[in-house]
Amino acid sequence: MVALAAALAGCGTSPPPKFYALSSASAPDGAPPADVAVLVGPVSIPADVDRPQFVVQKGPNSVEVDEYSRWSAPLNDSIARVVAADLSVLLGSPDVATASLANFKAQYRVTIDVQRFDSIRGQGTTLEAVWVVRKANGETRSGRTVAHETVSGDGFDTLAAAHSRALAKMSADIAGAIRAEAAATADASPAPAASKTAGA
Residue 72 lies in a domain: yes
At 185 the pLDDT is 79
Instruction: Give a yes or no: residue 30 inside a domain.
Output: no
Assess contact for 18 and 75: CB atoms under 8 A.
no
Does residue 22 sit within a domain?
no
Has residue 54 been placed in a domain? yes
Answer positive or negative: Cα dihedral of 70, 169, 113, 105.
positive
Confidence grade of residue 12 (pLDDT, cut at 50, 70, 90): low
What residue numbers bound the domain in which 59 lies? 38-185
Examine residue 97 and state whether it is found in any structural domain, yes or no.
Answer: yes
Pairing relationship of beta strands 108-120 and 38-44 according to DSSP bridges: parallel
- For residue 195, the 8-state DSSP code is P
8 lies in a domain? no
The burial of 133, by beta-carbon neighbours within 10 Å (0-12 exposed, 13-18 middle, 19 or more buried), is given as buried
Give the separation between CA 39 and CA 118, rounded to whole angstroms: 26
Confidence band, pLDDT 50/70/90 cuts, at residue 11: low
Instruction: Note the pTM of the prediction, 2 decimals.
Output: 0.86
Q: What mean pLDDT value characterizes the chain?
A: 89
Examine residue 42 and say whether the peptide bond preceding it is cis (omega within 30 degrees of 0).
Answer: yes
Q: How many Å apart are CA 47 and CA 5, to the nearest integer?
A: 42
> What's the structural domain count of the chain?
1
Q: How many CB atoms lie within 10 A of CB 76?
A: 18
Please, which pLDDT band fits residue 29 given cuts at 50, 70 and 90?
Answer: confident
Name the burial class of residue 108, with classes exposed (0-12), middle (13-18) and buried (19+) by CB atoms within 10 angstroms of its CB. Answer: buried
User: pLDDT, tens digit, for every residue of 52-94?
Assistant: 999 999 888 899 999 999 999 999 999 999 999 999 999 999 9
Q: What is the pLDDT of residues 110-124, one digit of tens each?
A: 999 999 999 999 999
Flag whether 199 is in a domain: no
What CATH number did the domain enclosing 157 receive?
3.40.50.10610
The reply to whether 145 falls in a domain is yes
Q: Using 50, 70 and 90 to split pLDDT, how confident is the model at 190? A: low
